[in-house]
A = this chain, B = another copy of it.
């Protein structure tokens, strides 16, 4: 297989964006082309979950390639729910590794806020099983809440640990211009004070408002290229060294041990094996914290910490910037935001900045190996990526 490099990145603010969806996808792509110093590409992938429903648009990829004046490059939309972004990066990887293409632009975009929050929540809920989950009123927050309850019982995680994830990730987001929520959060304010129940009410017990990611619009782009192309450009060399993906049962209740996230475990193991590194080699990671519990659970399943001990590492501050393994330096889905189709590309964007040493005030020192975990459905389709700085 040919080696594949990340040669350009771009992003929009994750926030409410009153632009057509194709423009939300195109803007970060223009930034990434400029960043890479490229004006044409061989192929375009657009990661998006629900344009047909939320934005009344099909064939989005063709619209984006035309908006960017990149015709006649081919283009497709890649959909894998909240993991659409990393799935699209995987397609880009294969397009180059196979030798079919040399430069592939991967842009992710979602415009959830074209509709109201109820409809956005419903659109996300349609990721659940239509006959065994959705029809009974299941939503992603309610699945996450049930998962959290079991996790608390089994491993001793408390609401305090969940709140610590929020505090850390809001702190990180304050250092990220493009993050959705720029709001200092403290344990006092969201947990310990008399006002906490007002500031931070339960959404789906035991998950509170600050345990859930916001509903964001946004776009993010990564351009991938062959070694030959990458080595001619002036950027630090960041290689997409490992790609892993695994699925798990569509219905959460069918899992032998519902607190195990086997797709996360499988996808991470594949990505590490392919990259020839171990979890302890990782210097910086973006995990899929759509709910605070997921950062803790994923930090265990990918192999950073033993199962049931992620919350202890969090307590010790190991996952803060400056800690042993900073997690979600961007602010994570929790505070950076979660424009579904853009999220996985946005995670890669952050890791590439970190490995280039361009992460400004949130820079992790000497970061050489970075990792992303992009979580589809409620853990039914997960894609993990390993990036390596090579020079």
Contact = CB atoms under 8 A, between A and B. Distances in A.
Interface of A: 1, 20, 22, 43, 49-54, 56-63, 65-67, 70-81, 84, 87, 90-91, 93-95, 97-100, 123-124, 126-127, 129-131, 243, 245-251, 262-263, 266-267, 376-377, 380-381, 383
Given A49-B58, A56-B130, 4 more contacts: A52-B123, A71-B246, A71-B247, A91-B94
A275 to B, nearest CB: 13
Contact of A74 (B58, B67, B130, B245): B245
Nearest to A48: B79
Contacts of A51: 52
Contacts of A81: 58-59, 62
Q: Which 5 A-B pairs have the closest CB atoms?
A: A74-B245, A59-B81, A66-B250, A98-B98, A97-B98
A72 B124 contact: no
A133 to B, nearest CB: 11
Q: How many chain copies does the complex carry? A: 2
A54 B326 CA distance: 42
Contacts of A72: 246-248, 262-263, 266
A100 B97 contact: yes
B123 A248 contact: no
Given A66-B380, A250-B66, A383-B74, A57 B130 contact: yes
A71 B78 CA distance: 19
Nearest to A55: B130
A78 B76 contact: yes
A54 B52 CA distance: 9
Contact of A94 (B61, B98, B251): B98
A336 B56 CA distance: 28
Contacts of A383: 74
B246 A62 contact: no
A72 to B, nearest CB: 4
A248 B71 CA distance: 6
B126 A71 contact: no
Contacts of A79: 58-61, 76-79
Given A52-B49, A53-B52, A79-B77, A58 B126 contact: yes
